Each structure stands twice: as structure tokens, then as C-alpha cells.
Amino acid sequence: MGFPSAPPPPAPTRKSSTTIIALFVGGMLALAILAVVFVLFNQPKAPEADCEPGKVCAPQPSLPPVPSNQPSPLPSPLPSVQPSVQPSPGPTTVPATLPPGASATPVVPAPTPVSNSPIVLSGELWQSSALNYSFEYDPNRWSLQDSTDDTAVFYSVRYDAQLVIRAVPAQTSPAELIAQQLAVVDTFMVGRVKDTDDYDALLGPSIGYVDGEGDVWSGVVLSNDGTPVAPGGVTVMAATDGRLTVSVLVLVGSPDAQVGSGTQQHRVRGQADEFLKSFDWDTRS
């Protein structure tokens, strides 16, 4: 399991055997969380790509192996690069001279035909059949680790980072959902404070073009035995369309580690935007 769902609200009844069982299960869950966090942050770290804004990334020979049936996440130098450029299907050569009679024929655009062709996806589609929302992600960048009706957990392929998308009925406000997610974060992070560095500021939080709220925090990630192991950065946003409330949480280990000309947190957050752009709040419409 990856990043777990937030705990349910406390039951209003007195403690019973069910409650005790629930507490036991909860305890086990917390242990599982710690174990996952430990595993996550102890994974062999992919080397940081020297890939700066304004440049196309260079191939990194020491990257984790990519399955042979998937394209490399990075552009390749020639000669392999040439075939990767897709020539336009059909005739591509523009006439060198005007076709006969062209100059006498005014350009009158034809009506645009209606197409039934499928919409191009920007990546893999993830969909909740229970809550009817979906989004797309690039499997070369993100690995799906866990998936339930309301939650999907991804690990970054190249960075020490995790992304969690969670949806709940809109009775839970964005602020409440953010608080729930942060409560879970607090089970493995200490000293969590708001990150006030302008460099990390979250400007214009939104999910799937629905304006929301959110903020950035920093703290220290604990190992499963409670030992501080590394700084961590947490960015959480939430928004609601009146039917669902959705949160997007991005957790980054060593957020200020330099990657190219930026930080690891910036790089990861930039890659996480694809989830937001493709987010469909209601797949039935």
C-alpha cells in the first residue's frame, strides 16, 4: 500500500469490541504506513537528470531499466531520434506552384466535418467507476502503486516522491479534506510547518480547471522506528465541483535538493501537473 486514505471520523458511540477491533486495525494500518514510507524513502534513488528548463533532457544511461515495450522517457540522440519524429500521414509536400486555377479561386473554407475519432490521451487513463472521475498520467514518469474507488497512489519513477489523488463526496469541504490528508502526513513527518519560501509558493491552486485551495509545508520525515531521516516537502491542494471534493497531495523527499537548475520539489510538482490538466470531474457528462 502507498499513501493511505485518511482515517474515518470518530464514531459517536461508546467504545465497544468493534471499536477495539477498529483501533487494532487502525494501529496495523499506521504500522503499514510507516513501513511504506520507509520502503519508499529507502528505494534505490534514480540519478538526477541534468535536465534544465529550456533544454531537452539528455539520455541518462544509469536510469532504471525501462520495460522494452515502452518508449524511453527521454529523447535519444541520433540515429534513433530520426524515426521518432512522426512524419505527417498522407501527402506532406506542399505544391511548389499554384494548382491550375488556384489563383482565380478565392479561398472559402469548407465547413468543418464532425469527427467521431477518439480523443487523444496524454497518457494512461485512470478512472473511478464508483465516483465517476478520471485523469491521465504518464507511466514513464509515474508508477501506480495503489488504487481504490476513491484514491490513487503513484510513485515518481525518477524522484523520491509520491502523489496521492483522493476524492470524497462534496459534503467534505476542500479545507476539511486537506486537513485529513495532513493528519495522515503527520503520522510520519515531524516539525511540519508552512513553507514560506517564495520559491515554493503555490500560485493559483486548481484541479481540473476548478479553482481550489492549498498550501506547501515542510518537515522532517521519520523512519518506521521514529528516527528522522530526511527533510520532506508536502504540497496539498483541494477543490470541489459541488459533487465531489478532490485533493491532490505531492510528497517529495529532500525537496530542496538541486535537480538541474531547479529543486527536486519543483521538478516533481511540474511533472504532477499532467494529472490536473486531464482531470475529468464527471466522466458521465
For cell 506542399, what's the residue? 94
Q: Is residue 2 at the binding interface for other proteins, with CB under 8 A as the rule?
A: no
Least distance (Å) between residue 276 CB and other proteins: 6
Q: Which of 19, 22, 34, 123 binds other proteins (CB under 8 A)?
A: 123
Please identify, among the stretches 15-23, 25-33, 88-96, 170-178, the one whose residues bind other proteins according to the rule CB under 8 A.
88-96
> Which among 253, 212, 215 is positioned nearest to 233, based on CA atoms?
253
Closer Cβ to other proteins, 13 or 110, answer by number: 110
- Residues 181 and 175: their CA atoms lie apart, in Å, by 10
Q: Which of 1, 277, 282, 283 binds other proteins (CB under 8 A)?
A: 277
Q: Which of 231, 238, 244, 251 binds other proteins (CB under 8 A)?
A: 231
List residues bridging with 166 in a β-sheet: 151, 247
Q: Is residue 228 at the binding interface for other proteins, with CB under 8 A as the rule?
A: no
Q: Is residue 193 at the binding interface for other proteins, with CB under 8 A as the rule?
A: no
Q: Which of 120, 193, 225, 285 binds other proteins (CB under 8 A)?
A: 120
Please identify, among the stretches 21-29, 147-155, 172-180, 230-238, the one whose residues bind other proteins according to the rule CB under 8 A.
230-238
Q: In three state form, how does the secondary structure of 163-211 look?
A: EEEEEEECCCCHHHHHHHHHHHHCCCEEEEEECCCHHHCCCCCEECCEE
Q: Which of 11, 20, 81, 125 binds other proteins (CB under 8 A)?
A: 81
Closer Cβ to other proteins, 8 or 106, answer by number: 106
Close Cβ partners of 195 (under 8 Å, ≥ 6 residues apart): 215, 216, 217, 218, 233
Chain positions 162 to 181 lying near other proteins, rule: CB under 8 A, are none
Residue type, 42: N
Q: Is residue 112 at the binding interface for other proteins, with CB under 8 A as the rule?
A: yes
Close Cβ partners of 258 (under 8 Å, ≥ 6 residues apart): 48, 264
Chain positions 133 to 162 lying near other proteins, rule: CB under 8 A, are 138, 140, 160
Residue 77 grid coordinates: 540522440
Q: Which of 77, 129, 193, 225 binds other proteins (CB under 8 A)?
A: 77
Q: Is 20 left (phi over 0), alpha (psi -120 to 50) or beta?
A: alpha
Going by the DSSP 8-state scheme, the letter that residue 280 receives in this structure is B
Q: Which of 17, 68, 94, 242 binds other proteins (CB under 8 A)?
A: 94
